[in-house]
Structure 1
Amino acid sequence: MFYCVYFFSTKDNNYWKKKGVLSLDSKCTFGVLLDTLLFRRTMADMVLDIYKQLEGEKFGGYVQFMTRVFAIRDPELINQVLIKDFTYFEDRGPPVEKSVELFSSSLNNLCGDEWRIARQKLTPMFSSGKLKMMFELIKECCSEAVLYLKDNKDDLEAKGFILRLIIKIIANAAFGLKVDVLHEEGAKTNKFFNASSKFFKPSVSLLFKFLIFVSFPKLRNLFKVKLMDDDVNQFFRNLIKDITKHRQETGTRRNDFLQIMLDQKKKEQTNLNNGITNVSFNDDEAEEPEDKELLEQLKYVDNISNNCSIPNETLRLHPILGALLRYCKKDYKIPGTDVVIEKGTMLNIPVLGLHKDPQYFPNPEKFNPDHFQNMEVIPKNVYMPFGYGPRICIAMRLAMLEMKIILVSLLSHYTIELSEKTKLPLKMFKISVFPGVDGGIWVKQIRN
């Protein structure tokens, strides 16, 4: 049996060489993933290694457990496959079975027409008008964070604190919930925090499930791999159901995302009842009244952030995900070559490698906001912290707004300095899906 598994998982090791494509190390069953699976290096290190092995080439290939992967380094080819020939690579993987878990129906996991319809419906929820509605909810949470820091005299673990603040914002802006999670003791006993934070905590089991989910789609569907535990899935199902029922029975309304979704669903049902099936979901912004004062606040926050560039440079060095993965839906011939990417091949664009390439960002390992002093000199398709093309993160503007409000709120009251408790040089977790520092980043806040 083990011989059969080994045979079928390594039989394509010479696949790319036969095509005349540079073949990366695939000597074992798991290929380039082996060191990550054995916790010898981080996922970021793996992405950088792929990028470096492609030096001098526009693209290359490798095989990992029966999955053929085509990696691209050339910015022009990246633009070609993500923009001009998007229809060949519009999915992030084979369809996920929807009965598996709540998050299987998220925009990230939907494919083809299902994704297009969902994207069309969700896009208006992140319009300028809707972001205006979110502004006050986010600012309210940040004001509470400022008050918390006023009473806090101890050194603070930055990522833990920001995670608690982000989850507080999500609870408020998405579900209309007020949760007291800024204090660590309060966070430990809060069900919403515990369910939400599981996806961000370093975990061996989550790392394995994530790698299977994105790298081994056939195994993912065969064994119905779930990213989230059953109790987390059930918690959010019940939460949405209970809040929806309460609002429908009491007529309660809030300017949060759940309310926007409920209104959108009601609008769709009304249109269907009236025999209208071809609905435009992009016309609601004109219905919203302008709030001059709020727009000025947004403009003020934008100006501060654009002048310092503290968010763009951070995302360059530490993007949430170091690579973009796409699934080839039909045979595709690389322009100007005889190389054909066959249907079913996974596409890997090593974003972190592009972000740390000295030809685009001089002295790339150094944190230097001046890298973004002139955005016009940076090719559009080498800086992709939120993805690129039609499948760019739909919540990008919300994430940036949230980040800006947090920074302005905290830095207008405090000067943040690194604490002696932080271990230098920083070492990244090897068992984490997302970037994280082993031992944490400890800071001390000095009131301005």
Structure 2
Amino acid sequence: MEFITLTTVLLGIVMVYLVYWLSSKNANYWKEKGVPCTNSFPIIGSMTDVILGKTNIVQLLADLYNEYKNEKYFGIFMFHAPVLVIRDPELITQVLIKDFSFFQDRAHKSDESDLFSSGIQSLTGDKWRILRHKLTPTFSSGKMKLMFKQIKECCDEMTVYLKEKKGQDIESRNLIFNLIINIIATIAFGLKVNAFNDEEAKNNAFLQNSKMFFKPSIYLQVKLLLTTSAPKIKKFLKLKLIDNTINDFFPKLINDLISYRESSDVKRNDFLQLMLDHKQKELELLSGKKNSVNGQVTQTSECDIPDAEPEDLELLQNLKRVKYDTNSAEVMRLRPGGGFLSRVCTQDYKMPGSNLVIDKGSIVHIPVLGLHKDPQYFPDPEKFNPDRFKNMDEVPKGVFFPFGGGPRMCIAMRLAMLEMKIFLAILFSSFNVVLSEKTQLPIKMNKKSILQHVVGGLWVRFEPREIH
């Protein structure tokens, strides 16, 4: 027994030493390259405040962005990994667009055992390029129009819910979350999820698993950082970004839906059907078959969409009148969904205008929130001022990234814009929105989450408008 105990202690000491050695061997990495860098500690690097829950990685990068305001770039350590943070717009444009071939991969690597890490956002090289090429047509204008009616129906359900809650305080993030879940369920999977019915929502597995996925926590943030900067440690500790319950639920759901549609020949205007149709076309091409009528190859035009109903035509006119573009660009400047961008250098790269060589495999971060709040580009940055986007040509390049940047920007941008436009047109044609006293002012963001969570919630009242 004593021998076993002694062996365990010795192994523990060796493990601690190895972790310490791995985390400290790069301690002088940035100094040797002549790059200004933050203070760092063994094992945790520059992540002390993040691990302690004092801030999140998005705000940390924004704060460091301001601290190094006279530098074009600076170095940090995410655990033991050296990371270059670029704050100069010209260099950012160079990395994201002009020299994309050197930085085509994102920092979090694909992992087939992890649902989140196996998506298009995590794929690298040719795997990403091929899948991106296949998915891009599913987000075309024609495909978006096919889903217009389903999105509108979800917004109408929300309107009914708000009228029932007349005069009551509503937490807006939860409201929008329920709407988005309804929309995703119907346009992606062809499912009917009534997230606005409290009784049904309690027992709905799709909704509950979705809420678990987006629940903020320091633990999730640390796992994400390890996925990005120390994948070997993550693999050694057998960590997954999301719980096994969630990791198992969605693949099984998709497999069940595919089996049902293939066996019953059911078709819907949703993304799952688009993927199944694409798969069928690839199989036909591989087998040498072609869709043809009288020997002529047929094509489906994106203009071949059902005629709009009268009420839909009225909504389309409202969409044109909604002052959306400048307002939404401004909202995404103040509260960007993605507070920073990550890229991996796929081959040694010499930074333009300097002697710095970014080594192959190095991580590069773009501090989006810092750029969006920089008074040099956006005067009085904490003020909500949609007029600053009246002329997009006046916004400097390389400082505004509401949906990411370069070829790896969000593939679903057009869908997100369509959803928001329909939502705003329906909402403001039916309600006046009043801020509730329950909202804590000034609002503060939850430091445990990389996503935008307001501490205490953002509470509002929806007062039905009188239509004359």
> TM-score range, shorter-chain basis?
over 0.9
Asked whether the equivalents of residues 61 and 370 of structure 2 are also in contact (C-alpha less than 8 Å), the reply is yes
Corresponding residue of 2:241: 227
Asked whether the equivalents of residues 110 and 119 of structure 2 are also in contact (C-alpha less than 8 Å), the reply is no
Asked whether the equivalents of residues 134 and 255 of structure 1 are also in contact (C-alpha less than 8 Å), the reply is yes
Q: Deviations over 1:71-121 (max 9, x none)?
A: 1011111111111111111001364232x1233321101000000100000
Question: 5+ residue gaps in structure 1?
Answer: 277-282
Letter in 1 for 2:304: P
Deviation at 1:442, TM superposition (A): 0.7
Match among 123, 141, 145 for residue 158 of structure 2: 145
Q: Distance in 2 between matches of 1:307 and 1:101?
A: 37
Deviation at 1:288, TM superposition (A): 4.3
Corresponding residue of 1:250: 264
1:38-187 aligned at under 5 Å gives the runs 38-93=52-107, 95-98=109-112, 100-153=113-166, 154-187=168-201
Corresponding residue of 2:373: 356
SS at match of 1:380: coil
With over 3 angstroms needed to count, the CA separation of the structure-2 counterparts of 1:224 and 1:272, relative to structure 1, is farther
Q: Deviations over 1:353-395 (max 9, x none)?
A: 1100111111101222222122111023211021100101100
Letter in 2 for 1:107: I
Corresponding residue of 1:280: none
SS at match of 2:196: coil
With over 3 angstroms needed to count, the CA separation of the structure-2 counterparts of 1:377 and 1:299, relative to structure 1, is farther
Corresponding residue of 2:448: 431
Across the aligned residues of Structure 1 and Structure 2, the Cα RMSD in angstroms comes to 2.2
Residue 240 in structure 1 maps to residue 254 in structure 2: yes
Letter in 2 for 1:204: I
Q: Distance in 2 between matches of 1:441 and 1:88?
A: 41
Match among 355, 365, 374 for residue 382 of structure 2: 365
Deviation at 1:190, TM superposition (A): 1.1
Q: Distance in 2 between matches of 1:145 and 1:91?
A: 38
Letter in 2 for 1:341: I
Residue 397 in structure 1 maps to residue 414 in structure 2: yes
Deviation at 1:416, TM superposition (A): 0.7
Question: 5+ residue gaps in structure 2?
Answer: 1-12, 291-297
With over 3 angstroms needed to count, the CA separation of the structure-2 counterparts of 1:132 and 1:308, relative to structure 1, is closer
Q: Percent identity?
A: 48
Residue 7 in structure 1 maps to residue 21 in structure 2: yes
Corresponding residue of 1:190: 204
Deviation at 1:122, TM superposition (A): 0.4
SS at match of 2:462: strand
Q: Distance in 2 between matches of 1:284 and 1:115?
A: 27
With over 3 angstroms needed to count, the CA separation of the structure-2 counterparts of 1:240 and 1:290, relative to structure 1, is closer
Letter in 2 for 1:109: S
Asked whether the equivalents of residues 92 and 109 of structure 1 are also in contact (C-alpha less than 8 Å), the reply is yes
Asked whether the equivalents of residues 164 and 187 of structure 1 are also in contact (C-alpha less than 8 Å), the reply is no
Q: Deviations over 1:385-444 (max 9, x none)?
A: 211001011001111111111111111100111101111221211212311011101111
With over 3 angstroms needed to count, the CA separation of the structure-2 counterparts of 1:307 and 1:249, relative to structure 1, is closer
Deviation at 1:16, TM superposition (A): 1.0
Asked whether the equivalents of residues 97 and 221 of structure 1 are also in contact (C-alpha less than 8 Å), the reply is no
SS at match of 1:415: strand
Deviation at 1:123, TM superposition (A): 0.4
SS at match of 1:393: coil
Q: Distance in 2 between matches of 1:42 and 1:418?
A: 27
With over 3 angstroms needed to count, the CA separation of the structure-2 counterparts of 1:189 and 1:352, relative to structure 1, is same
Letter in 2 for 1:326: R
Q: Deviations over 1:175-210 (max 9, x none)?
A: 111111113343222111011122222223322222
Deviation at 1:271, TM superposition (A): 0.6
Asked whether the equivalents of residues 187 and 193 of structure 1 are also in contact (C-alpha less than 8 Å), the reply is yes
Q: Deviations over 1:238-280 (max 9, x none)?
A: 211111111112111110111111111111111111189xxxx
Q: Which is further off, 389-398 or 422-431? A: 422-431
Asked whether the equivalents of residues 339 and 450 of structure 2 are also in contact (C-alpha less than 8 Å), the reply is no
Asked whether the equivalents of residues 143 and 302 of structure 2 are also in contact (C-alpha less than 8 Å), the reply is no
Asked whether the equivalents of residues 312 and 372 of structure 1 are also in contact (C-alpha less than 8 Å), the reply is yes
Corresponding residue of 1:410: 427
TM-score between both structures, scaled by the size of structure 2: 0.89
Residue 36 in structure 1 maps to residue 53 in structure 2: no
Letter in 1 for 2:379: P
SS at match of 2:47: helix
Q: Distance in 2 between matches of 1:347 and 1:148?
A: 45
Q: Distance in 2 between matches of 1:379 and 1:388?
A: 14
Corresponding residue of 1:279: none
Letter in 2 for 1:134: M
Whichever of the two has the greater Rg, that structure is 2
Corresponding residue of 2:9: none
Asked whether the equivalents of residues 58 and 450 of structure 2 are also in contact (C-alpha less than 8 Å), the reply is no
Q: Which is further off, 174-183 or 109-118? A: 174-183
Letter in 1 for 2:64: I
Asked whether the equivalents of residues 190 and 270 of structure 2 are also in contact (C-alpha less than 8 Å), the reply is yes
Q: Distance in 2 between matches of 1:208 and 1:186?
A: 33
Asked whether the equivalents of residues 24 and 53 of structure 1 are also in contact (C-alpha less than 8 Å), the reply is no
Deviation at 1:287, TM superposition (A): 5.0
With over 3 angstroms needed to count, the CA separation of the structure-2 counterparts of 1:303 and 1:383, relative to structure 1, is farther
Q: Deviations over 1:116-136 (max 9, x none)?
A: 100000000101111111111
Q: Distance in 2 between matches of 1:92 and 1:306?
A: 34
Q: Deviations over 1:284-337 (max 9, x none)?
A: 774541567589778646534555623211111111121100011111001121
Letter in 1 for 2:207: F
SS at match of 1:82: helix
